[in-house]
Structure formats: C-alpha cells, structure tokens
Amino acid sequence: MKKRILITGGAGFLGSHLCKRLLEQGNEVICVDNFFTGNKQNIIELLDNPYFELIRHDVTFPLYVEVDEIYNLACPASPVHYQFDPVQTTKTSVIGAINMLGLAKRIKAKILQASTSEIYGDPEVHPQPENYKGAVSTIGPRACYDEGKRCAETLFFDYKRQHDVNIKVARIFNTYGPNMHPDDGRVISNFIVQALKGEDITIFGQGNQTRSFCYVDDLIDGLIKLMNKENFTGPVNLGNPYEFTMLQLAQKVIELTNSNSQLVFKELPQDDPKQRQPDITLAQKELNFNPTIQLEEGLIKTINYFKNRLKG
C-alpha cells in the first residue's frame, strides 16, 4: 500500500537519498526544505515524478499536511554550516522537533528523528553504546548542534510518554557519499575536493583522531528498517563500525585520486572528538542492520561524484 511520507531536510545530503529510495519503493513523498544547506540539484531528477512534492518551508514554523510517516532530518549537520548561525541551528533542532512532533500527534503519524553521534560529545567510552550518556560541553562552539540534538531526543521521548506518539530515534554516525556539499567542511568531502584540485590536504592535530565512516546507501537502509520495525523506538546507533585515523583516510584518498597533494597539519579545533566509533550491536539485533559497503568502494563512488560536480 502506498504511504504518504514527509521528509524534512529532504533536499539535503541524506534527505535526497531517502526521498529517492522511498519513491523507488512505491511511496508518495513530500520533501520539505528551506534550502539553507539543501540543494535543489540533489532532487532535480525527482521533480518530474508525480508522487514527489517539494515544499520550501522552515521547520521552525508549523506545517500542516496529512501524511502517514515523518522523517525529521532538517538541521545543518556539518560544523561549518551549523556554526554559521548557531542560534538558528538550535532553533531548528528544538522548535523544529516540537513542530514536527505536534504534527505527528495531531495526525497520528509515525515520526523518526535523525539524531547524531555528536550527542556523545568527546567520548570517554569506546566504542559508544546507546546507554552511554556522553561528555558534551554545553558552552562550546559545537554545543548549538550537540545540545540541540540532545534536547530533540528529550522532546521525542516526552511526546511518547505524555501523548503516546509513535517515535523512532536514530543516532547517525559519520556518513558520506554523493550529494555531499563540496564546502561543508566534513573530512571526507574536504579531503576529496582538496585532492582532486591538487591542493594541500588539511589534517587537524596529528591525524591520530579516528572516525567510522558509513556509506549513505547503508545508512538509508538503516533508517527505513527503523521506521518499519514495530515495537522498537531506539535510540539506536546507525553507522559503520570500521574505524580509521584521519591520516589513514587522507592517504587512501590521495591513492584513489592519484593526487600530488601534500599533507599539512593544523591545530585541532575546540571540542573536536578524538574517537568516534558506533557500537551497532543493538541495530544488528533489532534491525538486522549490517553495512556492506566498505570504505574503498564508497570512496570511489564519492570521488566520481565530486569529479562530475567540480566539472560543473
């Protein structure tokens, strides 16, 4: 049966992939985006689909539509973008969550919150399981995003307890792939763009800090499985548990792009996490979630996307 599905942040990196996948599965999709970081180019191929609808809208204002499911992805997710207007970032996470939860309550829709591994802060537990409470600075430059997402999780669980809203909470770890913004400041897009342009590759600190990178197709699988899983709320970690240092990543990108770029080391930004690796035991058990696309394969696809993007 065809479902009507609302995706906030639907023209963004993750949202555009989710729109496409849900349309392919035979659903009707309403994409909502204010285009602060979203890009119409990401969804241009979907605009002719009669079951796809685009609404330019900011989730900090109420929205009135009738749908069966809501994926709340609206929020800038890279430090460059969320620190550009930190007050608006917090408002998007908190007021946006209130507005979408209010909508879900009124129309009795299922609603999924795209939360983040950033709620764990600079973790003292490794890898990070869902029951770890995190080590987050409430007053640092990243707090607008970290604390906004933490508050959104609180709101989701309060709406479940107080109003019996059917919620889902996914804690998304580093994800990459086509439709990333070339200037979003995230490490994979930074390294690839610098390598393709033959520029110095910027590494912060000594390059020993680690991240675990999930290819976007695997992540979208996880989000849809979570939405469709009955009697399971989360929060649940979604990501690829294979861990790499920034130095290893830079060397791999140079190798795959056949670039002459040199490595340049700069001071580590404030509150930058030293380690980031998901414990996905819960996702494996409850959702049968097992990422299949490993780093080299995913990087090749992403490099090809950026080659075409930079040509344009």
Residue pLDDT, tens place only, 45-62: 999 999 999 999 999 999
Which of 270 and 131 is assigned the larger pLDDT?
131
Mean pLDDT score across all residues of the chain? 94
Phi-psi region of 75 (alpha: psi -120 to 50; beta: other; left: phi over 0): left
pLDDT tens-digit series, residues 139-178: 989 899 899 999 999 999 999 999 999 999 999 999 999 9
Rounded to an integer, the average pLDDT of 103-118 is 97
Whether 46 is covered by a domain: the verdict is yes
pLDDT tens-digit series, residues 193-222: 999 999 999 998 888 988 999 999 999 999
**For residue 106, what is the domain's CATH number?**
3.40.50.720
Residue 274, pLDDT above cutoff 70: yes
Q: What pLDDT score does 61 carry? A: 98
Is 145 in the active site?
A: yes
| Cis preceding linkage at 50, omega within 30 | no
Whether 21 is covered by a domain: the verdict is yes
Whether 286 is covered by a domain: the verdict is yes
Q: Give the closest residue to 172 by CA, choosing from 244, 213, 119, 115.
A: 115
Of 71, 145, 159, 215, catalytic? 145
Q: What pLDDT score does 271 carry? A: 61
CA distances from 46 to 6, 51, 259 (A): 15, 9, 34
Could you tell me the residue range of the domain that residue 103 belongs to?
Answer: 4-178+216-239+278-293
Q: Which residues have a Cβ under 8 Å from the Cβ of 71 and sit 6 or more positions away?
A: 5, 6, 7, 8, 15, 18, 111, 112, 114, 223, 227
Provide the whole-model pTM. 0.95
Residue 312, pLDDT above cutoff 70: no
Q: How many domains does the chain have?
A: 1
With bands split at pLDDT 50, 70 and 90, how would you rate the model's confidence at 101?
A: very high
CB-based contact 212:244 (threshold 8 Å): yes
